Structure formats: structure tokens, C-alpha cells
């Protein structure tokens, strides 16, 4: 028998928002944002409400707008300084922008629930993506709320998980094979620069105060300080638990649509049901405000600027 559902108290949109129009797709999660022209410089009150909306709803969706790479980067900078990103290829003239292009020769490979870059000691705060080319069918992206997933756990399970930490590493993900195809130097550089790190299993969101489950299938290797079998069983349970439909939204893309998500309170999954059709994802990640901007991006540190794929 399922537990009694918790009562939800919706955010008072009229009281909290004057300059943008957020419309949540689930209770207090995953909101459409209207009334914002992202091709123009954003006034300070709009920027402040966008940051507030990201804390309130964890994922924001914008209807199609054709942005230049510089405008895309400027949108990310509304939320925080640009981060070093991941191992993906870079835009030829804007290195802050990662280019995830899939087609017949480059099949989609991010079809696994994950939180971005938890294998870093200081993972990015969030991400802005724009899908500039969409396949004729499919290619949706799913997000889930790890704060909703934690809140729905029993008090006993919540108490058990709080205080635990888990080890995260890119070496248990598909990045190891991708880097290996680039040769020993790329793999050794990654091992040298990005060693396993530990993060809390339950992360307290600094802006919303919500508690969020902070483990994922792609990068979490084990829970620290407990028996290996207990760790495996608990990670398997949490992996299954967070995928409940009540915590998830599936987004159908239109060309030049945008999404912004908070990396601390969500996971996402890129559907891989459209191969061999082409899909182009422009992606910029950003850090917590006040973070010093990195001197080099991850791609240049590990791959010396060469493409990730053969």
C-alpha cells in the first residue's frame, strides 16, 4: 500500500513575479517562462526573477528564440559565471559553448539519468541548452526533481541517508570509453586532473532550502563508509525511486527552444530514439555566483582542444 500523499502548497506566482510569467508543468517544478526576449539585454529585475524562478521550479523552459552563441552565453551568465564544462566538443569560435551533435556517424549516447559533472570537486550549478536542430520525431529530454524524490521518502529513510557521502567519478561512465578512443594521452590527462570525489548523498539546496538526493547512475560509484553490498542495494533503490512519474517531466523540443536547469536539484535523460537523424544541442554550463572562472575548460585540459569523437 502506498503512503498517504503529502499536501502540496503552490508557490504564489502573482506575489513573487512581476516581470516574467512562469507556468509550472508539475506542482512547483519545471516551468514555462513567458514574457522574456532573450535576444535583448535583460534588465536587472528580469534577471533577478529568472534566478528566483530557477530556485523555485528547478527547470525553466523558453519557447523558441534564435540566439547567437554570445546571447546564449549571456543567458547562462544571468545565473552564474561560466564553468569549465565537460569533455564535449566546443563551438569553433565560442569555447564556452559545448556542441553535442548527433547523426548517423555520431549516435546519441546520453540516454541515462544523471546530474552533470558530479565527478568534479565543484560541479557546475546549472546548464542552459538550446536544441537548434531537431529530428523529425523523438529526441525529447526528461528531467526529474531530486528534491521531490527526497521529500517523498519515509522519515526513517531520510534520516538514514542524511549524513552519508558517496564517491563520484567519470571513470564509471561512458566517458572512459570515449576518452580511450582518443588515445592514452587523453585518458591519462583525465585520470591525472579529475580524480574521484565525494559529495553528500543529501544535498541541502542553498537557495531554496530543499533537501535533494545527490547520487546518479552515471557517475556515482559507491556510498562511502558502508558495506559494498549495502551500497549497491541502496543505490539501486534510489535509482528506481527517483524515476517515479510524480517527480518527472518529459519535454518535446521545437527548433531553437531552450531549457535552463539547476544541477543541484535535478537529473536529466536525453532520449536516444531518433537515430540516425540529426540533432544539434548547444550547451553552456554555469557555476554558483561568486565562483572564480576557470582558466581552462575541461576539453582543452584533457583533449588539448581536439574533438572528443574520432
Bridge partners (DSSP) of residue 102 are: 279
Of the residues 28, 56, 116, 287, which is catalytic? 116
Reference 172, options 243, 132, 220; nearest CA is: 220
Annotated catalytic residue, options 211, 268, 279, 282 = 268
Q: What Å distances lie between residue 148 and 9, 177, 242, 245, CA to CA?
A: 13, 33, 9, 11
Q: Can the peptide bond before residue 276 be classed as cis, meaning omega within 30 degrees of 0?
A: yes
CA dist 27 to 57, 115, 145, Å? 9, 21, 11
- The question of whether 283 is a catalytic residue gets the answer yes
Contacts of 156 (CB under 8 A, 6+ apart): none
Sequence-distant (≥ 6) Cβ neighbours of residue 248 within 8 angstroms: 142, 143, 144, 145
Identify whether 268 is a catalytic site residue: yes
User: Which candidate in 19, 51, 91, 114 is catalytic?
Assistant: 114
Buried b (16+ CB within 10 A) or exposed e, 180-213: eebeeebbebbeeebeebebbbbbebeebebbbb
28 is catalytic: no
Can you list the positions of beta strands (E) in 237-290?
248-251, 257-262, 266-270, 279-286
> b/e per residue, 277-309, with b = 16+ CB within 10 A?
bbbebbbbbbbbeeeeeeeebbbebbbeeeebe
Helical spans, DSSP H, in the chain: 13-16, 44-57, 69-79, 146-151, 155-161, 175-180, 184-193, 228-241, 298-303
Instruction: Give catalytic residues, as residue numbers.
Output: 114, 116, 268, 283
Amino acid at each position: 500500500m502506498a503512503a498517504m500523499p503529502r499536501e502540496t502548497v503552490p508557490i504564489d506566482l502573482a506575489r513573487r513575479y512581476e516581470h516574467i510569467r512562469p507556468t509550472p508543468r508539475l506542482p512547483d517544478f519545471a516551468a514555462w517562462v513567458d514574457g522574456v526576449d532573450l535576444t535583448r539585454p535583460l534588465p536587472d529585475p528580469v534577471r533577478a526573477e529568472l534566478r528566483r524562478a530557477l530556485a523555485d521550479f528547478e527547470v525553466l523552459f523558453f519557447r523558441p528564440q534564435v540566439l547567437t552563441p554570445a546571447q546564449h552565453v549571456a543567458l547562462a551568465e544571468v545565473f552564474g559565471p561560466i564553468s569549465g564544462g565537460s569533455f564535449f566538443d566546443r563551438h569553433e569560435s565560442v569555447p564556452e559553448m559545448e556542441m553535442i551533435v548527433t547523426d548517423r556517424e555520431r549516435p546519441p549516447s546520453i540516454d541515462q539519468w544523471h546530474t552533470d559533472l558530479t565527478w568534479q570537486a565543484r560541479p557546475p550549478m546549472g546548464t542552459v541548452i538550446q536544441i537548434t536542430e531537431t529530428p523529425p520525431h523523438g529526441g525529447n529530454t526528461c528531467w526529474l526533481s531530486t528534491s521531490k524524490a527526497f521529500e517523498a521518502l519515509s522519515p526513517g529513510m531520510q534520516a538514514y541517508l542524511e549524513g552519508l557521502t558517496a564517491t563520484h567519478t567519470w571513470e564509471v561512465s561512458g566517458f572512459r570509453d570515449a576518452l580511450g578512443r582518443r588515445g592514452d594521452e587523453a585518458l591519462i590527462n583525465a585520470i591525472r586532473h579529475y580524480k574521484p570525489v565525494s559529495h553528500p548523498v543529501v544535498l541541502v539546496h542553498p537557495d531554496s532550502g530543499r533537501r535533494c538526493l545527490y547520487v546518479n547512475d552515471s557517475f556515482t560509484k559507491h556510498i562511502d563508509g558502508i558495506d559494498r553490498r549495502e551500497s549497491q542495494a541502496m543505490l539501486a533503490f534510489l535509482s528506481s525511486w527517483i524515476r517515479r512519474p510524480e517527480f518527472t517531466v518529459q519535454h518535446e523540443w521545437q527548433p531553437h527552444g531552450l531549457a535552463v536547469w539547476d544541477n543541484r536539484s535535478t537529473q536529466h535523460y536525453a532520449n536516444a530514439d531518433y537515430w540516425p537523424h540529426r540533432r544539434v544541442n548547444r550547451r553552456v554550463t554555469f557555476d554558483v555566483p561568486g565562483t572564480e572562472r576557470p582558466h581552462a575548460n575541461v576539453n582543452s585540459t584533457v583533449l588539448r582542444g581536439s574533438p572528443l569523437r574520432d
